[in-house]
């Protein structure tokens, strides 16, 4: 299948590691030009050195804190200056701190809102003039918590579901512009974030992170954590010309972990 991504420009937020990096690599394989971003310039430079010349697509990077409007605007302009336009926007953000309701302060709620929901709003708004030119694609990365809240992750549970409401509403509002927008929700994908969550649960229960992982695997029909590239391939499909009639939907990539219909 030809995804027709050669020469298209994709902007990927929070892409110096984990799922964002995997998405960048898969898009580069398909010939897209990719702008990666993040708060750590050394990590971005390392990604550029490791994968920037391996594939057909061109890779560039811009340091940006997605909780800061000025830096988002700089990121958008840097992408347009480098590649001429934006055809694909992949919204992504690192997960907020773990904890229960009683442990969360106003500052923690505000910070999570700005990073995990408002950044998506801002990146979409700033990208729209370019996405509207040729009917672009938006893919919002969320979490399996959009279908089943995860204990101890109240900040993520709250704002990830907000992403779904945003996506569903914009699917109608942007349809006339030919823009398709969807949400992709990872389950237990083998990233540093998931390893960190396993370690937190291990420290709470006084067992090793390996035992925590074994317990989690009991609830995953495929009996393994997903690989980042498996998740990334779903995003690439939704961002490509192979997707012509899917918008406003949410897709789980979780090995069958979530049991809801």
pLDDT band at 161 (very low <50, low <70, confident <90, very high): very high
* H-helix or E-strand spanning residue 35: strand 33-38
Which candidate, 123, 118, 138, 155, places its Cα nearest to that of 235? 138
Query: How do 59-63 and 33-38 pair as beta strands?
Result: parallel
List, in order of start, the domains of the chain with CATH numbers: 9-188+227-253 (3.40.50.720)
pLDDT tens readout for residues 25-82: 999 999 999 999 999 999 999 999 999 999 999 999 999 999 999 999 999 999 999 9
Query: Which residues, 6+ apart, have CB-to-CB distance to 196 below 8 Å?
Result: none
pLDDT tens readout for residues 223-241: 999 999 999 999 999 999 9
Tokens found for residue 146: 């959009």
Query: How do 180-186 and 59-63 pair as beta strands?
Result: unpaired
CB 196 within 8 A of CB 151: no
Q: How far apart are CA 199 and CA 122, in angstroms?
A: 33
Residues in a beta bridge with 251: 184
Predicted model pTM: 0.96
* H-helix or E-strand spanning residue 40: none
pLDDT of residue 261: 85
pLDDT band at 2 (very low <50, low <70, confident <90, very high): confident
């Amino acid at each position: 299948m030809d995804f027709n991504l050669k020469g298209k420009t994709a902007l990927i937020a929070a892409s110096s590691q984990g799922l964002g990096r995997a998405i960048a690599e898969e898009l580069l394989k398909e010939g897209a030009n990719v702008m990666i971003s993040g708060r750590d310039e050394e990590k971005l430079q390392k990604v550029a050195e490791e994968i920037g010349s391996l594939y057909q697509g061109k890779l560039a990077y811009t340091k940006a804190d997605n909780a800061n409007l000025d830096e988002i605007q700089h990121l958008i302009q840097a992408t347009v200056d480098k590649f001429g336009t934006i055809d694909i926007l992949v919204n992504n953000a690192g997960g907020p701190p773990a904890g229960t309701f009683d442990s969360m302060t106003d500052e923690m709620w505000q910070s999570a809102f700005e990073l995990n929901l408002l950044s998506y709003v801002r990146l979409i708004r700033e990208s729209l003039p370019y996405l509207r030119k040729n009917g672009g694609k938006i893919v919002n990365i969320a979490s399996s918590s959009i279908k089943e809240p995860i204990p101890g992750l109240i900040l993520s549970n709250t704002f990830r579901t907000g992403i779904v409401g945003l996506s569903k509403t914009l699917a109608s509002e942007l349809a006339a512009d030919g823009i398709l927008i969807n949400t992709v929700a990872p389950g237990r994908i083998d990233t540093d974030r998931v390893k960190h969550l396993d370690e937190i649960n291990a420290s709470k229960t006084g067992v090793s992170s390996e035992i925590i992982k074994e317990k989690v695997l009991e609830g995953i029909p495929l009996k393994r954590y997903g690989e980042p590239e498996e998740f990334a391939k779903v995003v690439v499909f939704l961002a490509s010309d192979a997707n012509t009639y899917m918008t406003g939907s949410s897709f789980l990539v979780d090995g069958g972990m979530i049991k809801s219909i």
